[in-house]
Structure 1
Amino acid sequence: MRITPHLQDTGGFFVALIEKVSDINYDPAAASGPAWKKKKMFKDEPFTFLKEDDERWHDIRNHYGVDETFQYQNLFSRRLETNDANSRQLFYANDAIKNFVKENMAKVSIQNAGMKMFSRTEGKVENTRFRLSQEGIRYLFKFMNKQKVKIGAEDMLYMLKSEENLVPLEKLECKGDVRKQQNGTVVVYCDEDEPVCTWQKICKRVGYHTIAPYISKEERLHLLRMMGVDCAEIELLMKSKRKEKAAQDREAAWSRKQEEEAAKGGSEPSTSAAGAPEEAPGPSDAPGSESAENPENIQEMASE
């Protein structure tokens, strides 16, 4: 069975059911392998979970008004504990994944786990060090009491359809409510009549005059479909732009290759078919010179 998320040609997940038919004799020593092989194994980045009263969580909770029932100690970074304070991203895992990771981190190679929920920002105009991530906003939204605004469907459609990276707030009816929020990330959502469109939550980065969606093109298409918009023309435009960009990249790469070959050929002396460098003709050997060999000169030399 193949499950394709959003039907957007982005790959799929294959689910298989495995049935255990008999017990096996498990030998931990044999399964772990020799000691010399362990030393050569690549060490994965550790999972460092937030501790109680972490100052980063106080910053996030106060800015976004996160409810106390949110299990913030399930947030983690992929840095060593000594450098955990400088981590740029915070991920979230449920209790089951957290327990599995903590129990098996030294035994099993775990590449990825959880979902990204916060990213550190260096913006000077924002009142918090962390912005929200679209990947984790669907779970965090129900715990938030600040930095979220309910907007109309027309404003949502305008932002999703707009080709501008920064959408002017003056063109939106919700500009007053959005400007009441603090600078940084704001979650906007709308209420639709159809059940699939009841809650639309999009993570936004907002300034006083503009608002910018923090979503990918594929996510934007998905939300437009959920709101009943025909996206065939938009998809065709996206594909044509991607093909055009790919053709430009190929042409640029070919031009660079030609220039490199031309520069390389001009810097080296030309070689003959045998591989030896060809000597430039001297003044006496130049065509039209008196000493240049011709049939008459050869006859005079022979008679002498």
Structure 2
Amino acid sequence: MGGKRKTKSFKKKPDVWDPTKSKKYKNGVGQAVDVSSNPSNVGFTEWVLESEIFNNYYRPIGICKDEEEFQEMLKVMRKPLPTTFRINTSLGPIKDVVMQQLNELISDVSQIDQSILQATDPEEQKKLNEEEFEMAKPIPWYPNEMAWKTSIPRRLFRKVPSLQKFKSFLINHNEQGYITRQEAVSMIPPLFLDVESHHNVLDLCAAPGSKTTQIIEELHLKETSRNSNHYSVPTGCVLANDVDAKRCYLLVHNTRRLGSIAVGITNHEAQNYPIPFVTNENGERAPQFFDRILADVPCTGDGTARKNPDIWKAWKESSGQSLHILQVKIATRACHLLKVGGRMVYSTCSINPVENENVIAEVLLKSQGSMRLVDVSSQYPQLIRKPGLKTFPNCPYTEEQYNELHLERVMRVHPHFQDTGGFFIAVLEKVSDLPNQLAKRIEKPESKNTPPTTTTTTTTTTSTQEQKPTENTTIVNSETSTTATTDKKEPLYHNERKLNENDRRLGGNEEPFNLLGEEIKKEVGYAKEFYGLSDSFPYDQLLCRSEKSKKIYLVSKSLLKMIENDQESRKIKLINAGIKIFQKHEGNASPCSFRIAQESVAIIEPYCTKRIVHISHDELVMFLQQEPLFHQLPQSTQSQLAPIEQGCIIFKIDSEKPSLSKGMVFAGWRGKSSAHLLVSLQEIAALKGIFKIPTQEKKPNTTTTTTTTTTPSTNDEMKTDETPKTSE
């Protein structure tokens, strides 16, 4: 009892990084392959890019016409992916400047071969001579040359000076939302959605959001093309959903760059997504089905092996089979959420027919003709693809059914077709209501006072991946099945399942969005006077999360309708809606308690008649480098600032010469004797890179009559502001 207790000692491993294992892995034939861009942790592991199980499964099922093509596909799958990106199509005039900068960079590295030979050692030169690479060029099948790719090895971006400029271009413009880094095949599904500005679109499995941003851009592009005078708001909206709460916040970050009020981020299981309701023109509460739905479902992801080398080791045949049931449920739910005449795109980054043709065939057969595959073979003719497989082991359909269902209309994009990853895409149209269609009825205004007289049968399963559909399974959601009743006036509500607040994936700590209360309306009314907001500003589209909320959000009308009708039931769990338009700030330096958020300044500026300060591009450069005192500014700017009270202002760039900043607007702060931008440090760093402004240490200004305090922040990374001393 009293003896000395024995303890086990652990010897700490030396903290040494082995570059031979962190930079390279083997491709199965003894050659080293660069994985510096691989997102997974390969620090102390050697990867073998070969799987006999993979080969034995795919070789005989006919995804390639012969052994020669199969080996060609494997060879491409062992190579790193090219660098690919999209240019934001809704930028307006800035888009032309981004294109100009891109073309200048390409011209700078036109002598790329000579630059590389001068910058590399003999061993590196030998490797480069064995590789084929090319500078950035447009992806041939993407519209209007808005998507680009380069196959230059990424390790060279660190060694060649001219390529470092290209790397900075990618980083800075991606941060500002001018471009989006995205794998080429990932761009395909949104293209076939054929989105219009009036569409309500649902992205069921959206995170991290590259496809979502593509959809948002399409909404705004179609609207802006009709009204190019200033910021145009589409009449439709995009709901981007993910089951994981953390990934939802990643969605918020990635979509916020676009500054759209027509975006809502939701947190639900895709297979149980609730059907939103709205009030129609007759005052009836009716289901809001979606015009377009993207179901990019969870999958084994073997089409991403070029960027995720761990897939080779982890791949097994049973993985696709275990996901098949969940994929069918998500596709089925999407069919219920889709309006008649609407279009759904089902996609995976897998080449396994169990996750692809098998799922589509099952959905089509159970829909009993209410869903059909759309022939899109004439669209984007430069995109190389092949039709769906007619047969494979345990194929659930016959050749006759293959022809009847037109499964040849689905698309397979294999890695060796155009130097991409692997993808599967199916475009479906809803031609009539499904058997046991959910939420078919509407609620009459007078029925709100009528007590419910119906019964609802709900069957709940314990796991979405454990219950297999039977022969008698209908296409209704397997977790919630609501039966029709004898009372025709009673609405058939959407998903009645109560969310488990303890489910970590579904969060549960977010406050819901609400219409503004009377107290906040008074404060917004003062902000209207302070900024000179016109009567045409959409005040009725403002939301907050509580009476004590420090943030005011602006949403589109279509999004507002869904939120208004969800005030009581709270079936839709919104992580974020629209865009932050106002932010409360602490302190009493300004008579107005609300400042304009940087992310929405481009939206609110056209409505403002006060507190707009016009500056030149050179002055913007000054603001990005320092916090100038008034006497350091041009006289024209001083005269604009003089009559303005302390508080938030808008800087608008008026430049005689064309520049990327011309027409841009920024939230700023007018202090007692100085002014500065209300822009995050991260955004300032990105803007410096875009405008090629050298980084220098910023020296704070001080005066004897003022004190320095922290002003309101965006992303908690704001500058300091001069505020006058007060008796308080």
Shorter-chain TM-score tier: 0.5 to 0.7
The equivalent residue for 1:190 is 653
Structure 1 residues 21 and 183, CA gap change in structure 2 (3 angstroms): same
Please tell me whether Structure 1 or Structure 2 has the larger radius of gyration of its CA atoms. 1
- Establish whether residue 89 from structure 1 lines up as the match of residue 556 from structure 2: no
1:61 and 2:528 aligned: yes
Secondary structure at 2:575's aligned position in 1?
coil
SS at match of 1:140: helix
Assess if the C-alpha contact under 8 Å between 1:2 and 1:14 holds in 2.
Answer: no
- What is the letter of the counterpart of residue 124 of structure 1? N
Tell whether the 8 Å contact from 1:44 to 1:111 is kept in structure 2 after alignment: yes
| 1:175 corresponding residue in structure 2 | 638
The equivalent position to 1:230 in structure 2, one of 692, 695, 701, is 692
Pick the aligned partner of 1:132 from 596, 601, 625.
596
1:103 to 542, 556, 565: 565
For 1:171 and 1:181, the matched residues in 2 are separated by 18
- Work out the CA distance in 2 between the residues paired with 1:34 and 1:69: 41
Structure 2 distance, partners of 1:70, 1:131, is 16
Post-superposition CA distance 1:237-276 (Å, at most 9, x none): 9xxxxxxxxxxxxxxxxxxxxxxxxxxxxxxxxxxxxxxx
SS in 2 for 1:197: coil
Deviation at 1:123, TM superposition (A): 2.0
SS at match of 2:665: strand
- Structure 1 position 72, deviation (Å): 0.9
Residue 122 of structure 1 aligns to a residue whose secondary structure is coil
Q: State the alpha-carbon separation in 2 of the partners of residues 218 and 194 from structure 1.
A: 25
Higher RCO (CA-CA < 8 Å; seq separation 6+): 2
Specify which of 535, 540, 544 is matched with residue 77 of structure 1: 544
3-state SS of 1:167 partner: coil
Deviation of 1:75 (Å) = 1.0
1:165-210: CA deviations, max 9, x gaps? x322211111231122111001111222327433121111111211
Give the Cα separation in 1 of the matches to 2:561 and 2:683. Answer: 31
Aligned partner of 2:606 in structure 1 is: 142
Check the 8 A contact 1:2/1:12 in 2, yes or no.
Answer: no
Matches within 5 A, 1:206-217: 206-217=670-681
1:47 equivalenced with 2:513 (yes/no):
yes
Secondary structure of the residue that 1:157 maps to in structure 2? helix
> Which of the residues 412, 417, 428 maps onto 1:20?
428
2:532 maps to amino acid: G
Q: Alpha carbons of 1:3 and 1:49: their partners in 2 closer, same or farther (altered >3 Å)?
A: farther
State the alpha-carbon separation in 2 of the partners of residues 141 and 187 from structure 1: 7
Give the conservation status (yes or no) of the 8 Å contact 1:4–1:12. no
Q: What letter corresponds to residue 571 of structure 2 in structure 1? A: K
Structure 2 SS opposite 1:63:
helix
| CA–CA separation in structure 2 for the residues paired with 1:220 and 1:55 | 34
Instruction: Give how far 1:12 is off.
Output: 5.9
| 2: CA distance, partners of 1:141 / 1:128 | 17
d(CA) in 2 for partners of 1:3, 1:50: 38
Amino acid at match of 1:182: E
Does structure 2 retain, via aligned residues, the 8 Å contact 1:127–1:184?
yes
Kindly indicate whether residue 585 of structure 2 is the aligned counterpart of residue 121 of structure 1. Answer: yes
1:122 Cα offset (Å): 2.5
2:543–2:553 CA contact under 8 A, matched in 1: yes
The aligned amino acid for 1:7 is N
TM-score after normalising by structure 1: 0.63
Q: Distance in 2 between matches of 1:143 and 1:100?
A: 26
Tell me what 1:289 maps to: none
Indicate if the aligned counterparts of 2:651 and 2:666 stay in contact, CA closer than 8 A.
yes
Q: 1:197 to 1:74 in 2, by over 3 A?
A: same
State the match for 1:7 in structure 2: 174
Q: Which structure shows the bigger proportion of residues in helix conformation? A: 1
In structure 2, the CA distance between the partners of 1:157 and 1:2, relative to structure 1 (3 Å rule), is closer
CA contact (8 A) 1:3 1:13 kept: no
Give the distance between the partners of 2:667 and 2:650, measured in 1 at CA. Answer: 5
Distance (whole Å) between structure 2 residues aligned to residue 125 and residue 138 of structure 1? 25
SS of the equivalent of 1:188 reads: strand
| Preserved CA contact (<8 Å) 1:63 1:146 | yes
Residue pair 2:611, 2:649 contacting (<8 A) in 1 also: yes
SS at match of 2:580: strand
How far is the alpha carbon of 1:55 from its aligned partner? Answer: 0.8
Alpha-carbon distance, 1:217 to partner: 3.2
Residues 70 and 224 (structure 1 numbering): CA distance in 2 closer, same or farther, change over 3 Å? Answer: same
Secondary structure of the 1:90 match is strand
Runs of 4 or more off by more than 4 Å in structure 1? 1-5, 9-12, 37-41, 221-226
2:666 corresponds to which residue?
Answer: 202
Gaps of 5+ in 2: 1-83, 89-172, 182-207, 213-293, 295-343, 346-426, 440-457, 459-479, 482-494, 698-728
Cα pair distance change 1:224/1:189, threshold 3 Å: farther
Q: 87-96 or 8-17: which moved more?
A: 8-17
Aligned residue number for residue 282 of structure 1: none
Say which SS state the counterpart of residue 631 (structure 2) adopts: helix
Would the aligned equivalents of 1:47 and 1:77 in 2 still touch at CA under 8 Å? yes
AA of the residue aligned to 2:512: P
Residue aligned with 2:576, SS: coil
Deviations 1:13-56, CA, capped at 9 Å, x for gaps = 22457133564534565163656x65767364121122689212
For 1:47, give the aligned amino acid: F
Tell me how far apart the structure 2 counterparts of residues 128 and 47 of structure 1 sit (CA, whole Å): 23
Structure 1 runs not aligned, ≥5 long: 238-304
**Greater shift after overlay, 136-145 or 117-126?**
117-126
